[in-house]
Structure 1
Amino acid sequence: TMTTTSQPDGTPATSIVYVQAPPRTPPNFSGNLHEDVDDWLGQYGRVARLNGWGPEQSLRNVYFALEGTARTWFENHEASISSWQDFQAELRRTFASQQRRQRAEELLQARSQGPDEGVTSFVEDVLCLMNRADPNAPEEKKLRFLMRGVKETIFGGLVRNPPITVQDFITEATNIERALQARASHYQRLPGVAALSTSSCNSPDLRDIIRDVVREEIRKLLPAAT
């Protein structure tokens, strides 16, 4: 598209050319066991929004993104599918992975924030797994997994004023993470390093243990010296 603009002072007109980006092509889905129908629907929906497709156009174009078993299924049931919402529901019902939710639940139960992992990476992965394991999970359940798996140094700051929403968790955990990083940079320390308490070294129990160990080592050496 070309637009011409004229200048009031008589200077030559300028032309502005608008180049329309070509439409994106959604990924294909064939219904194989290794494919995840929910992931594919999410990818297709993202492309549809980018291309400006509404529900009706998404349904009209979906045939060209299907192949193999999935395309055969659509051809057999196309007459009974009247909306994009119906298509998504029927596709999930037909090609849903039975192991998807179970596997996500197992990963969620074992998920904890890595030593060098940032808060954003940890939170997004937990929410992704939660969406697969329990798409309708309440805020309380999401928070429980986030609080259980977050780093100990961050958890200690969160329990002072426990978050009540996921967004509260993200905000507070990120602030704590930044504070720890600033401290580490200022004192040239690692955020996860715990300081050794000097008072613990002076406790009577520890002194007695050290004394007993020294005495035992001296006792072992005395026979050899004689």
Structure 2
Amino acid sequence: MASKRSRSFAQAAFSFDGTRDYEKVETFLTFARKYKSYKNIADSDALQTIYIILKDEAKAWWDRTNESISTWEDFESQLRREFLPKKPAYVVFQELSELRQKPGELTQRFVAKQRALFDQLDPPLPEVVQLDMMYGFLHPKIQEQIPRTCIETFEGLLEAAKGLEQENANNKPQVNSSSENRTARKRVRCNFCRNFGHVAEVCRKRQKLTIDEAVSETSTENHEPATEAGNPAPAPSASQEPRKVSSTVDGKPRFMIEISIGTAKEMAIVDSSIKTSLASFKFYSYLKSIGFHFQEENSTVAEGNSKTENALKGRIPVKVRDRCVLTTFVVYPESKESRSLLGTDFIADGRINLNLQQMTWNFIDEPLVHYSLPQYLPKNCENTDAN
């Protein structure tokens, strides 16, 4: 009995009453689609139990049309057709051109409005065309920090914009007023770092601690690097900038995650000894070709004798699986043999969990979906082991 309930909408906490408003229609369909996917509800089970979350006029419509709908895609299409009557194409295009993202408006809300208009076109436009049209109506600050060439889907755009907007919200100065203080007390609070605005599951401090502990446990299985005097070499600080030498240290195996920027792909090395990630010369060349703007800064590079070398830094949207992670990367333009290193900031920004013992990783909000975590072995690793 419990299994049947879990494969239906019986426990869903949302509903739709047939209100003819594109935001309410699209919000309902989004909730229903995600709930169906999370509960792993088959199309047939979903259609048999969808009446549970339909009320009033929507329930009456379903009673009339349910026999003619056999797939979930048909349900979404028919519901939109009924409660979002199609407009002439020229009217839709006019409304699209007049709908621009306002300052402070969340990208998710703006995109929902645009997609609701696109859904009224018959035949529908390809997603890439929709993205090209809609991108020009985004706020200039969003366009500046999220290049069009780095976005392939609406989901990728929303993921990148979400991270950017969360960062901007965290950087806003706090207002010391009694009303703000009362509001702050009502916000969610992390049980780990005790800061407001997030929960422990997505706490960056907790993620960094988890990563450091996991890497520490793995490192104990390998020999410790030694200096010329025979003493163990001091461990690098997690707050230092990426090193120019991008190979792994002393032949120890490291783990890799595949990332891409636009059309450029690479297996990047996970390195918890650094905070800010390092982009390879391959990624730098691609970003330079599309006109990406970097910030110049000086960085001290340890390579024999310490020296100062020009470095570039930028907030770069990186694709990991089907998501876009907006995080900071440093580039050394003169280091043409460099590989990409992923620091603790990237792991936190991507909301990634690492399981080094099982050699897998997953997104925090998808704990049941695991991806392989292959090892990277430097060329001198075999020689080191043989000795």
Q: TM-score range by the shorter chain?
A: 0.3 to 0.5
The structure whose residues are more often strand, as a share, is 2
Q: Which protein, 1 or 2, shows the higher relative CO under an 8 Å CA cutoff with sep ≥ 6?
A: 2
Which of the two has higher C-alpha Rg? 1
Structure 2-normalised TM-score?
0.30
The structure whose residues are more often helix, as a share, is 1
